[in-house]
Structure 1
Amino acid sequence: MRFIDKLAVLGGAEPALLKLVPTALGQFVQFAFVLLGTALLAVVSMWFALVQGLKINSILALPFAALWGLLILNIDRFLTTSMLSSSSFRRNLQMAVPRFIMAALISTVVSTPLVLKVFESDVNAQMAYYNLQQSQNNKSPLEASAFQKNVDSLQAEVTRLQQVQAGNNGAVVNPIVEEDKKRITELTDLVNQQRPITDEAYRLYQCELNGKGRETLKDPSKCSPTAGPFGPFPQIDADFKKQTQVLSDLESQLQAAREKLQQDSSTATAQQAEALKSAQAAASQQLPVAEAQLASARDQLAQIQNQVNSGTLNDQGILAQLRALFTLGESNPLMGAAHWAVAGLFFMIELLPVLVKLLLNSGPPSLYEQVKKLDGDSLVDEAKVRRNADRRRIEEESKKRRDIEDDMRSREKRLGIKANVYVAGQMEKYLDAALQQWSRHVASTLQHAASSAAASNGATTVPYTPTQRGVPAVPSQAPGGAVPGGVPVVPSQAPGGAVPGGVPVVPSQAPGGAVPGGVPVVPSQAPGGAVPGGVPTASNGANRKPPNAFTNFDITSGSSN
């Protein structure tokens, strides 16, 4: 097969029909190139998705991309070749809609990696910005986490131990010193309050004594218009001395408190020096442990922070790229329009096989399609002919079997009748022979009886000649229908239908249908259908014997030897 013929077959042509309609070769070859184009686009799209999205090696991604392309090629070929041409627009639409939906889904999947590749630089920039922003946002939860609190606590402990080791034991509170400081503060406040009062009393004293400084007084009306040591002067003088004494006392107390504080501070300092030495010794031992715990806590926090930042900053998968692409479209209308334009282009390219097939089916059937329909009708007709021929053959076989079975049954019937006739004839011969012997025996008995009777009566004996089967020659002339001795000549008139000794003349009337010795006269009435010696009288008898079964019959005794 030529390469171009293989392309036509890929496009959906059948080689046998293509030989009948060679003009359709070009159309199917063109359609094959359309299918190959969409498959190649699918290969490129999958390769980009594997390399950029899943970070697979570019060489290792080629076989998977090729398999994806073959799958898309097969699906597109199936969707298009299964769309049969029809003159009904409704039927064409019914066939096209589900295929169009499937093709649209495939187109969306295939076109997405291509669109991401086209806008790769913009997408990467948007991803970097978004990931950095997310990394900054992730710090706040970590700062409030238990890990960060543990680090802060350990850091404060290490700082305290370092200060103690450096000689700074921190604010060590001595109660005595603190009480002294509190007392000094109180006295200082009292002194500061008393000094303005004492100063006001002094200015009033000078104004009252010398008449000077009236303007400096808070209340000038307290100073008399006439200066001198008279009037209210003595009272003012006494108040001045009193306020001066109060201020002096407060200052003395303040000075004493300061001296006490100095002494107490010296004592406390000596005590603190001893405590500082002990604290420094303890801090020297505790500081390495605290620093190790702090380093471990910081490493753990840094590891968590790196994991969060790494997951955020390195988030460059397919979903992250799609998020960045749509975020760009929302923030930049021009970018959004470009995105949808490129996506629509790839989408239409992937839909091209189904669209082309739909357009071809919307027109009148082509010559190839007409020949294909005729070829299909021919195959249907051939199948019907084969089915009818098979049905006739099956019916003939069935009729032949029925005829054979009917002929077999007919032959079996004829053979059965023939066998019955033959057996009946043979039994009749046996019966005749038996009856003849029996007749002769009866005749001899009767002859002997008649001779005996005649001899006793002095009469002459008439010879008696029986006929076949023992019937008398002239039965009607015998008195009472019987020979001398009361033997009936006509068996039917004999009592019980039997001769003397109970021997029946007419076998059918004999009890059991048998002659003396149990020999049956009518074989069908004999027990077991057999004559003496077990010779069967019917075709169904057993132990059948040859016709000479009665050759040894004893006439005098009526039995066979």
Structure 2
Amino acid sequence: MRKFLIVLSGARPEILERCPTDRGKFEGIGGAVLTTSVLATISMSFALGSALGLSYFVAVPAGILWGLAILSLDRWLVGSIPAEGRRRWRLAVPRVLMAVLLGVVISTPLVLQIFKTEIDAQIVEIRQERANAFTTERMKGDAGKELIRLRAAVAEQENIVASRGEKAQDPRNDPRFKALTAERDAQQKQATKHYDELQCQLYGGPGCSKKGDGELAQASRDAMNKAKKRVEELNKQIDARKKELTASDKQARATRLESATEQLKELRPQLAAAEEQQRTLQSSFNDENESLNGLLIRLRALNEVSGKDVTLNAARTLLFLLFLLIECLPVAVKLMQKPGNYEKLFEMEARKELMEARTGMRVAARPAPDGAQGRRTTRQIWDAESALDQPPPDPTVVGPPTVLDDPQEHRPGPLPEPLPEPLSESLSGPLSMPHEFGGMEDEALRGMAGTRAPAVSNAARPERTRARNLFPDDDD
């Protein structure tokens, strides 16, 4: 478990093993990161299960995935904050803001779950208010007004039928009376229009090119008289219909009963259709209103219920701040701790890795060796070393004088470079080289035991001279 907490803290275990005193610090940071991820898992599970109504078989796995995401983010936030330096707080500010944002997102579902009872009661009130507002708006609309008119008309006609025509009928609800009245009003407007045209034709005005009692004036006068005559006829019919509706004799009662029966046959289907339309609208609204149980309406209910109760508002604020503090705990713990031995070793390790990377880049950037130099075989290296081991010439032997034009010309050249050391001390066999640096004979030479006699020490060697030794000593 401790190793797991150290991994969550973002520390490198191989470096932390050298600093046992710093393990507790990083275990605490890892515990804070783990606590944050657990709360995030619970919060998302509540949000998906209670607020969105999903099954917990779906909400819990989704909450676990959310918790793992928060775990990764918190681990990155903790690991990316420098241990010390001038840039520490400047780099920490955006990370602290991100931690606060994550804390707000994670803590909100937890607060909603704690105040679930109060929120559910407030949601019921919100639904009732929405239902009342919908009913009011529905009745104020055209469909609502038409429904009210049809209900009143049906009720009046039913009263007339129930009284067998004894009850007088309101002429304003009689279809024939309303039709006659509407036609009379239209004819009255036509008569007024033709009268204005006649005045324009007789006395001039806008739209009249000539004035006088001509053909146009006569046509306007005839149309006006015709409309007035029709208005008078309609007024007589309206008066007669009104008397029929308000009369109390036997014939009037029979007429009202017959009229009411005929109107009911027309009004009742209209009323049924209007009521069915209103029921459909109401049912659709009720389904929508009952389904309002999401996160937004729960937040609204929490705001409303906390605004009415000071104690509830204070408790909500304290719980929110508590969960927010827990969510910001990993970053806060990282910022409050002082750098220790781990940070120093980590910096040294980082510098070492940088130096090794630079060295590797320089070696890789060097040009490849020449073909003639890169193909030196083991036999050539053997011959070069054998030449160095030859004994010096005998100074007692006199040879022909040698004329040296340039003393520098016969000086011995630089010694060949020694063979590279073995890559590992554990290798006891002969140095293995790829075949591209020699043939099969070189492989045989490398497997042979050394037969060369040890070189003569400097004390036993005679002094070198420039004369040649014609009879060298036998080394055997």
Which of the five TM-score ranges fits, normalised by the shorter chain?
Answer: 0.5 to 0.7
The Cα offsets for residues 104-129 of structure 1, whole Å up to 9 and x where unpaired, read as 11000100111111122222222222
Give 1:93's aligned residue: 89
1:102 matched to 2:98: yes
Aligned partners of 2:156 and 2:169 also within 8 Å:
no
How far apart are the structure 2 equivalents of 1:33 and 1:161?
81
Give 1:322's aligned residue: 299
How far apart are the structure 2 equivalents of 1:143 and 1:276?
31
Unaligned runs of 5+ in 1: 175-263, 405-561
Give runs of aligned pairs for residues 145-184 of structure 1, distance below 5 A: 145-166=141-162, 167-168=164-165, 170-171=167-168
Give runs of aligned pairs for residues 151-550 of structure 1, distance below 5 A: 151-166=147-162, 167-168=164-165, 170-171=167-168, 269-276=249-256, 278-279=258-259, 282-283=261-262, 287-312=264-289, 314-360=291-337, 363=338, 365-391=339-365, 393-394=366-367, 397=369, 400=370
How far apart are the structure 2 equivalents of 1:142 and 1:402?
101
Give runs of aligned pairs for residues 105-116 of structure 1, distance below 5 A: 105-116=101-112
Structure with more relative contact order (C-alpha pairs < 8 Å, separation 6 or more): 2
User: Residues 384 and 172 of structure 1: is their aligned pair in 2 closer, same or farther, counting only changes over 3 Å?
Assistant: closer
Aligned partners of 1:5 and 1:25 also within 8 Å:
no
The Cα offsets for residues 428-451 of structure 1, whole Å up to 9 and x where unpaired, read as xxxxxxxxxxxxxxxxxxxxxxxx
The Cα offsets for residues 271-291 of structure 1, whole Å up to 9 and x where unpaired, read as 2255256436x53xx535532
How far apart are the structure 1 equivalents of 2:256 and 2:124?
54
The Cα offsets for residues 312-332 of structure 1, whole Å up to 9 and x where unpaired, read as 455332222222222233222
Shift of 1:386: 1.5
SS class of match (1:315): coil
Aligned partners of 1:127 and 1:320 also within 8 Å:
yes
How far apart are the structure 1 equivalents of 2:258 and 2:318?
79
Give 1:135's aligned residue: 131
User: Residues 270 and 338 of structure 1: is their aligned pair in 2 closer, same or farther, counting only changes over 3 Å?
Assistant: closer
Shift of 1:39: 0.5
Shift of 1:97: 0.5
Aligned partners of 1:132 and 1:313 also within 8 Å:
no
How far apart are the structure 2 equivalents of 1:172 and 1:87?
97
Q: Which amino acid aligns with 1:37?
A: T
Query: Which segment is superposed worse, 163-172 or 78-87?
Result: 163-172
Shift of 1:173: 9.9
Aligned partners of 1:163 and 1:169 also within 8 Å:
no
Shift of 1:157: 3.2
How far apart are the structure 2 equivalents of 1:173 and 1:333?
59
Cα RMSD (Å) = 2.9
User: Residues 288 and 65 of structure 1: is their aligned pair in 2 closer, same or farther, counting only changes over 3 Å?
Assistant: farther
How far apart are the structure 2 equivalents of 1:288 and 1:278?
11
Give 1:57's aligned residue: 55
Give 2:37's aligned residue: 39
Aligned partners of 1:169 and 1:279 also within 8 Å:
no
User: Residues 320 and 6 of structure 1: is their aligned pair in 2 closer, same or farther, counting only changes over 3 Å?
Assistant: same
Give 2:224's aligned residue: none
Give 1:82's aligned residue: 80
Unaligned runs of 5+ in 2: 172-243, 375-476
Shift of 1:172: 6.2
Q: Which amino acid aligns with 2:357?
A: A
How far apart are the structure 2 equivalents of 1:314 and 1:330?
24
Q: Which amino acid aligns with 2:168?
A: A
TM-score, normalized by length of structure 1? 0.49
Q: Which amino acid aligns with 1:271?
A: Q
Give 2:377's aligned residue: none
Give 1:201's aligned residue: none
Q: Would you say how many aligned residue pairs link Structure 1 and Structure 2?
A: 299
User: Residues 132 and 40 of structure 1: is their aligned pair in 2 closer, same or farther, counting only changes over 3 Å?
Assistant: same
How far apart are the structure 1 equivalents of 2:35 and 2:80?
20
Shift of 1:5: 2.2
SS class of match (2:131): helix
